[in-house]
Structure 1
Amino acid sequence: MPLREQQLQTYADLLRQGELVVFPTETVYGLGASAWNAKAVRKIFETKGRPADNPLIVHISNVDMVKQFTPSVSARVKLVMQKFWPGPLTLILRKKEEVPDIVTAGLDTVALRMPNHPVALQLIELSGPLVAPSANKSGRPSPTRPEHIFADYGKKLPVIDGGPCNIGIESTVLDLTQNPPLILRPGNITAADIHSACGFLPRIITAKEATEAHKPKSPGMKYAHYAPKARVAWFDPDQSLPDSPKALVLCHSSAPQLPDGFKGLFRNGDFTTFAQELYNNFRQADAEGFPLILIEKFAPQQLINDERLISLHNRISKATGKAD
């Protein structure tokens, strides 16, 4: 048995014993617990300070595991799984009665995802299905590096170090219990991607619909998320920057002239890196004592031309405290 598999077996044993383990995925780091152990799942809510009506995503390592959680798998569901799993797409399906209510926040639906990360897949094969929200304190930026978990929890949690996450933004959530299907949370897989691969076009719910949801079906809908301690605000590169003694400025086009005390990070149209580094930049700003993070606005045409920017716009708007 290779050393890595031996190490993963140790973590899998902890999970089977009802402990929590932080593990990497391609999107963000997850705080894992056995999906069938309600007592262990309760520890997630206690550890994160997570609202009890915020459902969790069940992570699986093979398609056969889906049958444990949903009574039937339609041809449409099979097609979506075939096209996008493993990958950053969570599916909302009808749940079996035996799925613990604490996993689904008492809803009659369950959220399922197969992550596209070798460590996550190996761990789940050894441990069984895992519920795993992002491994941050509730409301804080999602962790995309191991040091982010240590910043939130110290050394209290076992952490599997997988290095920086490849995508850096949480998964797309697609509700397949509705017709037409709904995107409850935008992510790296877009409505256009789903339309092209599967022949149907899901509707993306509005930020207003998400925040007003009485019983959210998906993480990232109802509650404040992704926010650093610093205030986050959009800025227009054609207008003057707001007054502040210091600020971290995130730009995706040309670099503006910055006053003293301002630090700029410029991506020059590289939105892949912009997404990968977003939460790390948020945490970096807090670590360096910046009271303000300014982020260059996306032009409306940019959001039309590249749907992937919708997920960035969603996360940043949530961090500003103004869903729009």
Structure 2
Amino acid sequence: MSGTAPLQDRLLDCVDEQQREDALERAAAVVREGKVVVLPTDTVYGVGADAFDVVAVAMVLAAKHRGREMPPPVLVPNPRTVDGLATDVPMYARILMRQFWPGPLTLVLRAQPSLQWDLGETNGTVALRMPDDEIALALLAEVGPLAVTSANVTGHPAATTAQEALDQLGGAVAAYLDGGPRTGGRPSTILDCTGEEPVVLRLGALSAQEIRGVLGTTRLHDSPEAAEASATTPAETVEGEPADGAEGESASLVGSVTPSGVAVPADAVRTIAAPRADESAPTP
């Protein structure tokens, strides 16, 4: 796509099924060229790029006016992709994927150390999610994992339409897949799966009860502070950033355990609360 083309020409119609295939082909070409694309998800619109293209990921962060201290999560087309991106994946994480993917569940896992990628300051972890959105999954199936964050300039509301994303991000994005309005809704639930048992980093669309219902004897750990934050978190963010741009209020995912606020059973092991947001590890 020419950089001098009118910005409105970058809006690609995916609502009309007759135009969707062509729109997806053009968006896939944009990703392969190392450029940035906006796509709908099951919550809000996201802005992303090839997760393995260091420059393209930096372009995503630059489009949002955001630094490396808040690395984006990675959206995947199916659970089979996970083993190529993460290592030491616990069985309980695989159970959760089978039960809740595609859907609003983000799993923080240990990243494969051999991968040549740079998502930012991740402390050796990666946050993975399979979105429950037909258009997003079609693009992911075509180009592979994408580093995706909410489609907004930092400090502004997350876009719920492609036009809103265009109004905020403009020429920083080469193609905007227009899948119609997205309603937002509750954020994804985020679990730290880097240990022997999962820890809730943020409660969202999936409740602790739903998660415990499939874990069997595996304990789900949590503590009070994050539940209060989760209860006031605005509409979802693709990657854990609050939709109103108040990034400091989101859960700290990398290398730390942030409390969730669900009542802990008497026989459960309580986790140590993370430091305050200004002292804790980065928040993707």
Percent of counterpart pairs with the same letter? Answer: 36
Structure 1 distance, partners of 2:182, 2:158, is 11
Residue 166 of structure 1 deviates from its aligned partner by: 4.5
Q: Secondary structure at the match of 2:244?
A: coil
Which of 163, 172, 176 is the aligned partner of 1:147?
A: 163
Q: Does 1:201 align with 2:220?
A: yes
Structure 1's 197 and 122: CA in aligned 2 closer, same or farther, altered over 3 A?
same
1:22 equivalent in structure 2:
38
1:202-231 Cα shifts (integer Å, max 9, x gaps): 415624999xxxxxxx9547xxx44379xx
Structure 2 distance, partners of 1:50, 1:205, is 29
1:15-36 Cα shifts (integer Å, max 9, x gaps): 0110000000001111010011
1:309 equivalent in structure 2:
none
Structure 1 distance, partners of 2:110, 2:199, is 14
Q: Which amino acid aligns with 1:187?
A: G
1:55 equivalent in structure 2:
71
Q: Secondary structure at the match of 2:150?
A: coil
TM-score, normalising length from structure 1? 0.62
Q: Which amino acid aligns with 1:171?
A: S
TM-score, normalising length from structure 2? 0.70
Q: Secondary structure at the match of 1:160?
A: strand
Which of 102, 125, 140 is the aligned partner of 1:124?
A: 140
Structure 2 residues without counterparts, runs of 5 or longer? 1-16, 230-237, 247-261, 264-276, 278-284
Which of 25, 45, 56 is the aligned partner of 1:9?
A: 25
Q: Which amino acid aligns with 2:225?
A: T
Structure 1 distance, partners of 2:100, 2:94, is 10
Structure 1 distance, partners of 2:120, 2:191, is 15
Structure 1 distance, partners of 2:53, 2:117, is 11
Contact 2:188 2:240 in 1 (8 A): no
Residue 81 of structure 1 deviates from its aligned partner by: 0.4
1:191 equivalent in structure 2:
208
1:159 equivalent in structure 2:
176
Structure 1 distance, partners of 2:45, 2:102, is 16
Contact 2:90 2:196 in 1 (8 A): no
Q: Does 1:170 align with 2:187?
A: yes
Residue 192 of structure 1 deviates from its aligned partner by: 1.4
* Paired residue total: 222
Structure 1's 2 and 228: CA in aligned 2 closer, same or farther, altered over 3 A?
closer
Q: Secondary structure at the match of 2:118?
A: helix
1:268-321 Cα shifts (integer Å, max 9, x gaps): xxxxxxxxxxxxxxxxxxxxxxxxxxxxxxxxxxx99xxxxxxxxxxxxx9xxx
Structure 1 residues without counterparts, runs of 5 or longer? 211-217, 230-302, 305-317, 319-324
Q: Please give the root-mean-square deviation of Cα atoms over the aligned residues, in Å.
A: 3.0
For the pair shown, which has the larger CA radius of gyration, 1 or 2? 1
